[in-house]
Chain A
């Protein structure tokens, strides 16, 4: 029996939910081992991430990052490609944002700079994905291997650029100068003071991320290019039969994927840090893989999964503050468990659930 015969709410709702419950049960065991009360921990985690406006603002800020990297991985998934390079593509995307801001922030307001920052980040991220894409399309070098390699290259390249080329003269920090007011995206707290987001860095790029979700949905399910991407991903032989060029599809898909990953830098650099600095990506690119898996490579699922991971990041920070026994490292263990259950062990409960649902459906058909 194929998975496709499951009702949609089971496939998209129940199975991710069960995976999440399993992850939290195991996490709870970990918390008990440390000697804390898991129920209290959950309370702190939820309160810290959605219980008050400022905490929720942080959650949304992290979620914005995850939406971009999650979409990047999802688009590649649809073409059957596994883009592990979101980390590096987002990092290089920062260059595009920084160039736009540094070049223009003395002359024009932010809403003029934003389109340049979007294009700059997307082009930079796409450029970083291009060589792995080309190698995959033309030489068959597996994109998983090459994108991981390109992550490391990007780390070193950015350190070199920030320490030697882009560093603010006279500064000890490997980072650019801080952008002028015009090079910063407005915080939502400034736009909507009544929400009380306080010091949360959630900013206008949240809406850019949501717009990207709509555009990705359109691309994948409504355009001819999306049809070709899905055809190639589902059955490459049939795609060739249909006259869809594998080389073209692989390269275009990876460019779109890299571009989306690059756009994550808008949120971090233009939205929050206001300068290009070292290591601003810190794992968002990798977590994007889990977000895309959990969100079933669908924009709506990705938004929900992004908020979940945003909660884990923000709630986790609160947790290590409130319960000193649960260190930052333990939070990462818990995040890792969620990724493990939602991503890697995605198929653990599926066979059982398929078995549970198949006979009952057969009976229903009989009665009908």
Chain B
């Protein structure tokens, strides 16, 4: 490490309307280090990095790169200064090859062939230097996400980035892929590159970084040497008070099954089997967690059970009634009528209508309930009264039922969905990604509410890609891989073991593992 920092930010301020997204941010990133930035959603991490990468302009404050004061008007300027960024959502063209994607935007001339040949040589060199092996002629759509991310890193290196910003890089990766990514980052560091790792996962900070800076509500609240801090301290700094990382709950008192799924097979619109012959049950008074890397059939499973998607075959027993899912024409409204609640995985796409007022969303899916209507008309007074009650009970802020839903924060939006589904007193609750994009305070609340529902004797099926969440909440864990349930574990399943199952490693140790879980 040399003395001049790779990046130095001085008193950076950024306001969006009345929101002060970055307040007097100071940050020093040493050359050749891995520097983590951690904070809740909405803490201002992404804004800060967007300023560094030229997407936004700071209202005031200075940016120094290698000790020189610079102005970064756009991302082209950032790349020129040797700053590269790997976005959370990859910026790749799916039907282009790796090589074409790497060259895209840096073609150097009107004709492609010269640039492509040069890129091929350069890729080979980068591959050897940083151990980043990818077939340059493979199409992006054929690559697993871990490799796609590698292409993003190569793109940045090809543009001779010295500082690499990774924004929530592990969201789509298996634990094994994430570990591999951290090894790559280590190699990059040893080659003298500087890495800025943006994340809200404490474990990654502890595993991968040298230094960590914590942001809270637009302010930089602390910077620590990673080896001199702990998860507990960082969590407290993030939230501003001490946090329970574990969910307090009694052992489950599971009773008779409330939902039984047998031989469920689902085929998607492309004709690909996405759920393959899945059977399981959920008993009253227990939380069954489905672990798995995103895209292994969990979403389709939830959508099928909730009546949104059609199955090819399979049966569903709910409250003693048997439904042949292969032929059923029941839609989401019919499933709700069978006392099944559904908190969908993606609240923006599915769970809420962002342009509606809060009270209008508080009855989405239940708008035909006689309690909320007078004949053909909606009973607005009853709807608003109910919305106000839910706002109070779930501490939804701001407490204004007339406010447009888009103007609530992620955590509060999720509480709107959760309140709507739980307060209808379902026997079975399907929950997908209940805390995605939700701040820690709200996570605690949401987890507690789900456990309470369990203790009231309801059956809960929980799908989450956050392994920590699955382990904290579930009484039984099912692991899905490639559309199948590849293993079942008890409440105390080891993280490493689940990780292997999620990565598709054969479960040849089933009996022993179940013995261990008991």
Per a CB cutoff under 8 Å, which of A224, A243, A358 touches B334? A243
How big is chain A's contact interface, by range?
20 to 34
B484 neighbours in A (Cβ, 8 Å): none
Instruction: Please tell me if the beta carbons of B18 and A366 are within 8 angstroms of each other in the complex.
Output: yes
Question: Who on chain A is nearest to B361 by CB?
Answer: A238
Per a CB cutoff under 8 Å, which of B16, B306, B353, B407 touches A238? B353
Per a CB cutoff under 8 Å, which of A224, A237, A238 touches B367? A224
CA distance A244 to B378 in the complex (A): 16
CB contacts between A and B, total, < 8 Å:
85
Using a Cβ–Cβ cut-off of 8 Å, how many residues does chain B contribute to the interface with A?
Answer: 36
CB-CB under 8 A for A223 and B336, given A235-B353, A241-B350, A242-B367: no
A209-251 interface with B by 8 A CB criterion: 218, 222-225, 227-228, 230-231, 234-235, 237-238, 240-245
Q: For the complex formed, measure the closest distance between the CB of B409 and the CB atoms of chain A, giving whole angstroms.
A: 15
CA distance A206 to B44 in the complex (A): 56
Instruction: Please tell me if the beta carbons of A237 and B334 are within 8 angstroms of each other in the complex.
Output: no
CA distance A230 to B335 in the complex (A): 22
Interface bits B359-387 vs A (CB < 8 Å: 1, else 0): 01000110110000100111010000000
Instruction: Please tell me if the beta carbons of B376 and A225 are within 8 angstroms of each other in the complex.
Output: yes
Instruction: Please tell me if the beta carbons of A234 and B353 are within 8 angstroms of each other in the complex.
Output: yes
Instruction: Please tell me if the beta carbons of A237 and B365 are within 8 angstroms of each other in the complex.
Output: no
CB-CB under 8 A for A243 and B365, given A224-B373, A225-B376, A231-B353: yes
Instruction: Please tell me if the beta carbons of A241 and B308 are within 8 angstroms of each other in the complex.
Output: yes
A interface: dominant SS: helix
CB-CB under 8 A for A362 and B18, given A2-B406, A241-B308: yes
Instruction: Please tell me if the beta carbons of B332 and A240 are within 8 angstroms of each other in the complex.
Output: yes
A222 neighbours in B (Cβ, 8 Å): 377-378, 380
Instruction: Please tell me if the beta carbons of A361 and B17 are within 8 angstroms of each other in the complex.
Output: yes
Query: Is A359 at the interface (CB under 8 A from chain B)?
Result: yes
Query: Is B108 at the interface (CB under 8 A from chain A)?
Result: no
Instruction: Please tell me if the beta carbons of A227 and B378 are within 8 angstroms of each other in the complex.
Output: yes
Instruction: Please tell me if the beta carbons of B18 and A365 are within 8 angstroms of each other in the complex.
Output: yes
Q: For the complex formed, measure the closest distance between the CB of B210 and the CB atoms of chain A, giving whole angstroms.
A: 38
Instruction: Please tell me if the beta carbons of A362 and B17 are within 8 angstroms of each other in the complex.
Output: yes
Instruction: Please tell me if the beta carbons of B17 and A359 are within 8 angstroms of each other in the complex.
Output: yes
Instruction: Please tell me if the beta carbons of A228 and B367 are within 8 angstroms of each other in the complex.
Output: yes
Query: Is A4 at the interface (CB under 8 A from chain B)?
Result: yes
Instruction: Please tell me if the beta carbons of B354 and A235 are within 8 angstroms of each other in the complex.
Output: yes
Interface bits B299-313 vs A (CB < 8 Å: 1, else 0): 000000011100000
Q: For the complex formed, measure the closest distance between the CB of B73 and the CB atoms of chain A, giving whole angstroms.
A: 18
Q: For the complex formed, measure the closest distance between the CB of A315 and the CB atoms of chain B, giving whole angstroms.
A: 36
A328-365 interface with B by 8 A CB criterion: 358-359, 361-362, 365
Question: Who on chain A is nearest to B380 by CB?
Answer: A222
Query: Is B155 at the interface (CB under 8 A from chain A)?
Result: no
Instruction: Please tell me if the beta carbons of B356 and A223 are within 8 angstroms of each other in the complex.
Output: no
B377-411 interface with A by 8 A CB criterion: 377-378, 380, 404, 406-407
Instruction: Please tell me if the beta carbons of A224 and B378 are within 8 angstroms of each other in the complex.
Output: yes
Instruction: Please tell me if the beta carbons of B17 and A243 are within 8 angstroms of each other in the complex.
Output: no
CA distance A222 to B377 in the complex (A): 6
A98-149 interface with B by 8 A CB criterion: none
Binding site for B on A (CB under 8 A): 1-2, 4-5, 218, 222-225, 227-228, 230-231, 234-235, 237-238, 240-245, 358-359, 361-362, 365-366
Could you list some 9 contacts between A and B, CB below 8 A? A4-B355, A224-B367, A224-B373, A224-B377, A227-B378, A235-B353, A241-B344, A359-B17, A362-B15
Binding site for A on B (CB under 8 A): 15-18, 306-308, 331-336, 342, 344, 349-356, 360, 364-365, 367-368, 373, 376-378, 380, 404, 406-407
